[in-house]
Amino acid sequence: MPIDDLQQAAQKIANFLASLNKLGGMRLKYRITAGDGARDPEGMEARVIYVELGGVDTPLLTQHNGELLRALETIAAQMLRLEAREHDLVSFDAANFKALRAQELRMSAEVAAEKVRESGVPYAFPPQNSRERRLLHLAFRDLQGVETASSGEGQDRFLVVYPEGKTHLPVTAPTRPRGFGRR
């Protein structure tokens, strides 16, 4: 169910972040915007609550491809009892991480599209979370001569770029890079 009382929801998030600072030993500053001011100017997210985080511990939030940042979003969505399809109503960011990552993904899309157009061979991105796959799909929407599809399941779901009209070509599933989360 959508968020009925945005101010009450913003206050719940503020209380959670205050507890995180006090009990978790974090040193984060935050600004919470609810309603029209929270809208994503690029239209990538359907957010109605936007939390900007800063302070000494900001680097902890953006390490490992923003893993902790996404975890905070997930906790906030669960606190507000949002269904999975509504999780993008609440968005957290730190040090402009999401905008920079979106720009990086757009550039990766352009490089991959050129590679696929020149070679005629599909290109598979490594497994990514649903937000990043969505950003890639949106980036490819504006690129000519290629089309995309997601493949795989769960944590191993990935995006494939095909030459236009050739989604029947076989693709080898990429392997997930070893690192944080896979030990």
Task: List, for residues 117-127, the tens digit of each pLDDT value.
Answer: 999 999 999 99
Which residue type does 115 have? K
User: Cα 159 vs. chain centroid, distance in angstroms?
Assistant: 14
Q: Residue 17: which residues within 8 A CB-CB, separation 6 or more? A: 28, 30, 51, 53
Of the candidates 157, 177, 178, 161, the one whose C-alpha atom is nearest the C-alpha of residue 169 is: 161
What CATH architecture does domain 6-95 belong to? 2-Layer Sandwich (3.30)
What pTM did the predictor assign? Answer: 0.73
Q: How confident is the model at residue 176 (pLDDT cuts 50, 70, 90)?
A: low
What CATH architecture does domain 100-163 belong to? 2-Layer Sandwich (3.30)
Has residue 57 got a pLDDT over 80?
yes
pLDDT for position 83: 86
Mean pLDDT of 142-165: 91
Question: Which carries the bigger pLDDT value, residue 43 or residue 81?
Answer: 81
List every span in the chain annotated with CATH 3.30.1370.50: 100-163
What integer best gives the mean pLDDT of the chain?
A: 87
Residues forming beta bridges with residue 158, ordered by sequence position: 151
Has residue 178 got a pLDDT over 80?
no
pLDDT for position 177: 62
**Cα 148 to Cα 123: distance, rounded to the nearest angstrom:** 10
Place of tokens 């999780």: 87
List every span in the chain annotated with CATH 3.30.300: 6-95
Dihedral pair phi/psi, residue 135, rounded to 5°: -60, -40
